[in-house]
Structure 1
Amino acid sequence: MDDRTYRRFTAELVAWAEANPAVIGLVALGSMARAGRDPDEWSDHDFWVVAETGAAPTIRDDPTWLPDHERIVLFNAETEHGRNVIYDDGHLIEQAVFEPSEVSITRANDYRVMVDKGGIADQMAAIAQATAEESAGRNRAVSFGRFASQLVIGLTRYGRGEELSADAMIKHHALGNLLGLLGRGHAGELDSLDPFRRFELARPDLAPPLLEALKGPAPGAATAMLDLAAEHLTDLEPNTPELRTTLRTLIMRVAR
């Protein structure tokens, strides 16, 4: 979606929210918020609607208020409050509709309050602060322990012949913990809610060899990930030579 169309789409959402008496607020998230990062041609529309008590279910499950709704090819109940929408040009909407009492269950980093008919800005400021505190308080040693355990789970599944499950465990779950650890100190470039987002921009020194290794079988990917941990995460107490030797031995065993 080009910038002109993206802005028009956003403006129509804002106009709808302002005109609908059942809507209390509209909050843009991610690149839609334009909070230091503008949307590009690949950006989706990610937003929350806050509606009066009792009105949320109707708004949530009625796509006809969305701009260009006649071009929708998929309207999917992704979560209890969230609906994913795909248009015929591939444009994606990730939306959620909450009642005021439900907003506190959410987490957000980049956001912009587009419509506020009462209290939304204060709620969002509290949510963003709680999200930042949770991110800062994550225990790095615990995350590394999860990374190592997920490598073992993935490798043993690979050894059993469960290659799809092994790939998911190593190349997604373990990788997510590793990226979160390697991304510390680069908070401005990374997404605190998703360690995979923009890692290539934050760590251009680490991303290319890692991406290359991920193209191959799980043991090779595990080796590359372990090499990065050995080089960059030795300050973590659980990251001992004994643990790394154990993991490398397991890699060699399942790769035979």
Structure 2
Amino acid sequence: MRKQKLLSRLDEIGQSLESTGGALLLFGLGSVGIELERLDDYSDLDFFVIARPELKSRFIDRLDWLETVYPLAFSFKNTKDGHKILFEDGIYAEFAIFEEKEMDHISFSEGRIVWQEAHFINKGLHIPIVQNVSLKKDHSLNYSLNEALTNLYVGLCRYARGEKLSALKFVQGEAIDNILNVLHLIEPEVEYFPDVFNNERRLEKRFPRFAQTIGDMMQGYHHVPESALHILKYLEDVFPINQRMGEEIRRLANLCVAE
């Protein structure tokens, strides 16, 4: 049921792009791309949209083309090219918008064409050319804590399907790293030899209040959901996080604990 819902939602996004005008191509990535056999109840939507020249910003700045498919409960612009979103019915997605000329420099896995504008000549844009491109990341409070929130969501989905090591890295690795990136904006930092190359160094001296709680957030391989709940609670205490995302993370964590 969930699998078909995901595929149908992606098809509906293609139909919306056609109605909106200005898009050339939609292709799915990962488990909604060419790896459909691994699609399961904990999968999400990853996709790229190729927009006509000069219309890229229209699809990034105005998400009406998604809202007409299904209302959004959460949206977070995590890169200059796209968003992480949660539809009201719990379907999570990550997407990016590009112009055709940009595709030679984008790193991605091979995609599946979901929709294509009738007169557009596809030049193999769904096949990657460049990989392992590093991205410059924003370390603002809004960016880092929303990233941490989505790290929890993705990590718990992976835990639920049995990918516990990957879940550990998302929840107790990436989410924590995103918090550390902006911890100096959340609580006073004690001046004690900060290391510009390694945010974890001397953390206990520099941020003694956070050091008292981090143990609950990093309980190890067998307690990823419990760790996620503590991280979520911390995020809720220090930042006005999206309530719907918080509810979905808590539901997933409790589901994983109960299994």
TM-score (norm 1): 0.49
Larger Rg: 1
